[in-house]
Amino acid sequence: MVIGEGRRNLAIVGRGGATINGSGNLNAPTVQIRGRGITIKGFTIIGGRHGVQLIGGGTGTVDGNLIKNATTHGVGVHNGSVARIVDNTIEQNGFNGICVCEHSVADIGFRGDFATQASPNIVRNNGTNGILVADASYAEIESNSVYSNISTGIAVDNSSSAKIGFQSGVAGTFASANTIEFNGNRGILVARSSSARIVENFIRSNTGDGVGVIRAAHADIAANAIDGNTGNGVFINQNSGVNLGNDSGSAPQDQPNNTITNNAGVGVRCLNNSSADGRQGTLNGNGGPQGFDTSCVNSLIP
């Protein structure tokens, strides 16, 4: 199904368990959106190269669908497109559950900046990352369950940026954490000159670090529960920096992170000309709260 560039303000709604099956053509997306203001709602969308792809500046809402078994991405937002992705289950796709890539923008898990309640997606059992934001793209990610993906839960890569967690929309609307757990690599990765604000999420039981910030990246990481990951709670490497809350203040973005069940490594690990500022809080690991090499700047306070 292709919704072309000339289409505007069109809602396509599946009723009674309607299915769009693209398994017969693995080289094309099952649903492709090139129009403006397009809504795809209430379908089971199976197979294809992508389950749903917005491309060429397309804009739309992907709402309340089951999207599975695409060979590449469950939902791909590509080439300067804009998407709102809400209330879907996105699973068992070959690469990423959601890919916001190539100068694109997405709201994931809530219906715009003035939303008053969450509209969470379940993003699980995908072949690489649960959610990837890459190639100078931007996403706001709130209220989702991202679990059991083969690689990272949420990755922000290649000069991209993201707000992950509390009040990703306008301050004062609503607060709803992401739960990021049981992924096969880090819970969250921020890499290659990217940045992220990561506030009030549950980041636990991932195979690797809870949060990794590497390759000239930066992250503000505050008020998260970072528990039981098999690596470090927070890992900083290769000319990167983090703020773990602020030295003072009571707003969520000022608060330190906490650990109840130790991570397997240390609470905060820093290597190779990187830095950490803010508050240590209870962030901890079996190897202790901190591990900084001599090239790192440690400005953390308790």
Range of the domain at 239: 2-301
pTM to 2 decimals? Answer: 0.97
Q: Which residues contact 173 (CB under 8 A, 6 or more apart)?
A: 113, 114, 115, 116, 167
Q: What's 181's domain CATH number?
A: 2.160.20.10
Question: What is the per-residue pLDDT across 167-216, written as a single tens digit (0 to 9) for each?
Answer: 655 555 566 899 999 999 999 999 999 999 999 999 999 999 999 999 99
Question: What is the per-residue pLDDT across 245-271, written as a single tens digit (0 to 9) for each?
Answer: 999 999 999 999 999 999 999 999 999
- Predicted pLDDT of residue 102: 98
Would you mind telling me the total number of residues written for the chain in this entry?
302
Question: What is the per-residue pLDDT across 74-121, written as a single tens digit (0 to 9) for each?
Answer: 999 999 999 999 999 999 999 999 999 999 999 999 998 888 889 999
- Residue carrying structure tokens 């130790």: 262
Q: In b/e form, how buried is each residue of 163-173, taking b as 16+ CB within 10 angstroms? A: bbbbbbbeeeb
Q: Give percent of the chain with pLDDT exceeding 90.
A: 92
Q: What total number of domains does the chain contain?
A: 1
